[in-house]
Amino acid sequence: MSYEINDLKEMFDGTLPWYKVKEIMSRPKDDDRFDKYIQILQERVSWPERILMPLGEHLYIVQKGGERIVKCDCGHEFGDWRKNWKLESLIYSRDDAKKLGEIYPGIRCPDPKLNEVREYYCPGCAALLKVESVPVGYPIIFDALPDIDAFYREWLGRPLPDEKKFEFKDLSPEVTKGWGRE
């Protein structure tokens, strides 16, 4: 089963009429939804690298030469997808009452001794990519480390040609280790 790509485009944009959205939601997921979604996303970015997987608003995991990297729709590249892209972003931490009060005015303001709100921005286009609200000093959260090879092999049934090349593990400690040497 399959839907018209234009219907899916409108659904992702939130402009498809509700009766059509409901119809799509009520049925089993169409077999080629992932491929069509990738096709729609690929048409909308200005760079040529193949999108392997969307990673959230503005961000994608793409194939670039022999690498798989996180890339913003503006073109900014964050590096290997196994390293938390947030470590390469611009971080604004709301860690005092004034900064928190801009978001949570008055009585709703959390106690800055207990809580901080971190905003992660793209160094290329300044888009707000993610917000996290955490206890003070909490490690930067690695939102998603998808096993791309397992997804292509086991869910789509067509393994990526270079799947043997990438050990599936969190490489973020390499980034922070590098900071220690600087």
Contact positions vs Zn ion (CB under 5 A): 72, 74, 76, 122, 124-125
CB of 8 to Zn ion, least distance (A): 24
CB of 74 to Zn ion, least distance (A): 3
CB of 128 to Zn ion, least distance (A): 10
**Closer to Zn ion at the Cβ: 15 or 46?**
46
From the number of C-beta atoms within 10 Å of its C-beta (0-12, 13-18, 19+), residue 116 rates as buried
CB of 70 to Zn ion, least distance (A): 11
**Closer to Zn ion at the Cβ: 100 or 129?**
129
Cβ-based neighbours of 149, under 8 Å, separated by 6 or more: 159, 160, 163, 166, 168
CB of 145 to Zn ion, least distance (A): 21
**Closer to Zn ion at the Cβ: 72 or 117?**
72
CA 50, CA 53: separation in Å to the nearest integer? 9
Q: Specify the amino acid at residue 107.
A: I
**Closer to Zn ion at the Cβ: 60 or 152?**
60
CA 108, CA 3: separation in Å to the nearest integer? 45
**Closer to Zn ion at the Cβ: 8 or 55?**
55
CA 171, CA 154: separation in Å to the nearest integer? 23
**Which spans in 80-137 are helix H?**
97-101
